[in-house]
Structure 1
Amino acid sequence: MNRVLDVPRELAEPAERGTLTVGHTVVRKVAQHAADQVPGTARDGKRGAKAKVGGLDNDVDLALDLALNYPAAVRAVVGDVRAKVVEEVELLTGYHVRTLAVTVSALLPDVPPRVR
């Protein structure tokens, strides 16, 4: 069964189309996912990066808490995380990242310890 959609041939003027609002919850999830994709970051148990979002209008302030693989070049990995998070948040949400604070809360070994 094929339904034909009733779509107008011309779009309405931009001011008449309505608005799109991206909530801070979406921004938080985008930031967390982007941070987890950077090589050198680690998952602390089942949890990856944790983000908090604030800000007004089109500017957001982000705070990330994440774990890194040990041994890691902390400064280099955090720099990569900053770049990736800013790029993804601005691309996908349209918000401008005003500030980004990163806290490295753990350094986790790549292999589990032999003794438990």
Structure 2
Amino acid sequence: MSRVLDVPRELAEPAERGTLTIGHAVVRKVAQHAADQVPGTTQDGKKGAKAKVGGVDNDVDLALDLALQYPAPVRKVVGVVREKVTEEVERITAYQVRTLAVTVSALLPATAPRVR
């Protein structure tokens, strides 16, 4: 059992508090998740969007590879993916998305074919 101390604590000066580093693996996961949430995207097999992350300091460069449902308005869906991924990465990680390249690698039917 732990005790809660009711002792008010003053925060250290910002320069003395330390740093927080968010790795590129986290940025990659955030980008992939955001892309997979956009209506019109789909999974290629059991995998959703794939992302690669580069960049330095607070600027990141993203490359996404994803599949879309067929028939889908490709330009419209990709535009929404760009907006959603940029918004989520910047909101959650505080990194600035410098570039975002999107590759549509597959157009997959909404229902699986009956015969393989």
What TM-score bracket applies, with the shorter chain setting the length?
over 0.9
TM-score normalised by length of structure 1 = 0.95
Question: Which consecutive segments of 4 or more residues in structure 1 shift more than 6 A?
Answer: none
Mapping of 1:57-96 within 5 angstroms? 57-96=57-96
Distance 1:7 1:93, change over 3 A: farther
Listed as ranges, the gaps of 5+ residues in structure 1 are: none
Counterpart of 2:47, as a letter, is R
1:96 deviation in Å? 0.3
SS in 2 for 1:31: helix
Counterpart of 1:3, as a letter, is R
Mapping of 1:19-38 within 5 angstroms? 19-38=19-38
Listed as ranges, the gaps of 5+ residues in structure 2 are: none
1:114 deviation in Å? 1.9
Aligned residues: 116
Query: What corresponds to 2:14 in structure 1?
Result: 14
SS in 1 for 2:27: helix
Q: Which whole-Å CA distance do the structure 2 matches of 1:30 and 1:5 have between them?
A: 36
Distance 1:57 1:76, change over 3 A: same
- Percent of pairs with identical residues: 83
Query: For the aligned residues, what is the CA RMSD?
Result: 1.3
Query: What corresponds to 1:49 in structure 2?
Result: 49
TM-score normalised by length of structure 2 = 0.95
Residue by residue, what CA displacement relative to the aligned partner does 1:31-80 show, whole Å, maximum 9, x if unpaired? 00000000000001110000000001110000000000000000000000
Q: Which whole-Å CA distance do the structure 2 matches of 1:7 and 1:84 have between them?
A: 42
Q: Which whole-Å CA distance do the structure 1 matches of 2:7 and 2:61 have between them?
A: 39
